[in-house]
Amino acid sequence: MFKALLLTKTDQPAPHCAITELDEAKLPEGDVLVQVAYSTLNYKDSLAITGKSPVVRTWPMVPGIDFAGTVLESSDGRYKKGDAVLLNGWGVGERHWGGFAQKARVKADWLVPLPAGLSAEQTMAIGTAGYTAMLCVMRLQDQGVTPDGGPVLVTGANGGVGSIAIALLSRLGFTVHASTGRMNEAAHLKALGASELIDRAELNAAGRPLQKERWAAAVDSVGSHTLANVCASVRYGGVVAACGLAQGMDFPATVAPFILRGVTLAGVDSVMAPYERRMQAWKRLAQELPADVLAGNTAKIGLSGVADMAARQLSGHVRGRVVIDVNA
Ligand code: NDP
């Protein structure tokens, strides 16, 4: 038996959410059984737990789109008992039982070895949000964005993706501007590496198709009008890495920035990212994200704190990252 957070469908949008003792035999099929040490609360997990979006596709569901732990059993040659592993995405916590549990059984293809230099807890302090932030940084760099090109904007600055993107970009030598609705967190955002703060109210309402050219590039986890205004404000030839929808899934924009300024809108998906790309992102995270910055950006809770924290996250009251100690 093992402990898990279990979501059960109800006739309301919000599922029933309870810590439950589950039998290992009930775990879904997979090649590798993992003793989970830590998971983390991602935006998508909060949507699943609150039922605000139809993230969960099969019921009942153990949420948790990522986890880190140790292999207990493996029928796949790539992993053996005792190996330290982590997982992000692949529909885990949506279609396949996820990381808010002491055990998980998954496909070997979905795992990556724990990167050298990071503990299981540190990988989950980064979590899918931080790994996505690195994928965004890599996307900008793939498009030739360099620190001497001008400032880079990060939206959703206090969030998981935003906070780690600020830390990564500033350590690469970029001048980072941070857009936030929480100007009272200025000290934290500056400690992460932001040099200038922008009130997100400047960006989150309908704006003109082309605006003053302000940034060389941007990492956007907010979507909607914010993404449209960011595209309209990026300099000629600039690049916007778009990964999120914290403001909304809509994109009320015009083609003007793309056809008149040659702006590139670069989409970033972490869920289905190929193995080599994941390995590259995690290797870089281990090397480029200082441990003290990570620690200062992370809170830790047990499974019993997840439901409350999910509601707090969706109302914009969580700063940085939340690690879940599934054994607490
Ligand atoms: P968080 O909840 O940690 O952060 C989101 C941040 O967005 C908030 O902290 C807030 O920052 C800002 N925000 C919230 N509501 C609004 C609003 N109405 N208007 C403008 N800004 C707002 O979430 P994450 O950082 O973990 O994830 C952010 C987004 O990225 C989510 O939509 C998530 O689903 C997506 N995502 C996508 C991935 C992918 O593979 N493409 C992977 C991981 C995440 P502040 O208070 O500073 O304004």
- For the CA of 178, the nearest atom of ligand 1: 47
Residue range 135-163: average pLDDT? 98
Written as one letter, the residue type at 67 is: F
- 3-state DSSP assignment of residue 266: strand
Ligand 1, CB within 6 Å, residue ranges: 42-44, 128-129, 132, 156-162, 180-182, 200, 204, 221-222, 226, 243-247, 268-271, 313, 316, 318
Q: What is the pTM assigned to this prediction?
A: 0.98
Residue 64 pLDDT level (bands cut at 50, 70, 90): very high
Per-residue pLDDT, 261: 98
CA of 42 to the centre of ligand 1 (A): 9
Per-residue pLDDT, 217: 98
Per-residue pLDDT, 232: 98
Which domains are delineated in the chain?
2-114+297-325 (3.90.180.10), 127-267 (3.40.50.720)
CA of 220 to the centre of ligand 1 (A): 9
DSSP H stretches of helix in 78-119: none
Output the CA–CA distances (angstroms, integers) from residue 199 to 2, 5, 47, 183, 224, in the order listed: 45, 37, 25, 7, 16
Per-residue pLDDT, 25: 96
CA of 279 to the centre of ligand 1 (A): 24
CA of 181 to the centre of ligand 1 (A): 12
Q: Judge contact between 327 and 4, C-beta under 8 A.
A: no
Query: Mean of the per-residue pLDDT values for the chain?
Result: 98
DSSP H stretches of helix in the chain: 43-50, 120-142, 160-171, 186-192, 224-233, 256-260, 275-288, 291-295, 306-314
CA of 222 to the centre of ligand 1 (A): 6
110/116 Cα distance (integer angstroms)? 18
Question: Which of 49, 221, 225 is the best mutation target for the ligand 1 pocket, counting ligand atoms within 8 Å of the beta carbon and taking the most?
Answer: 221
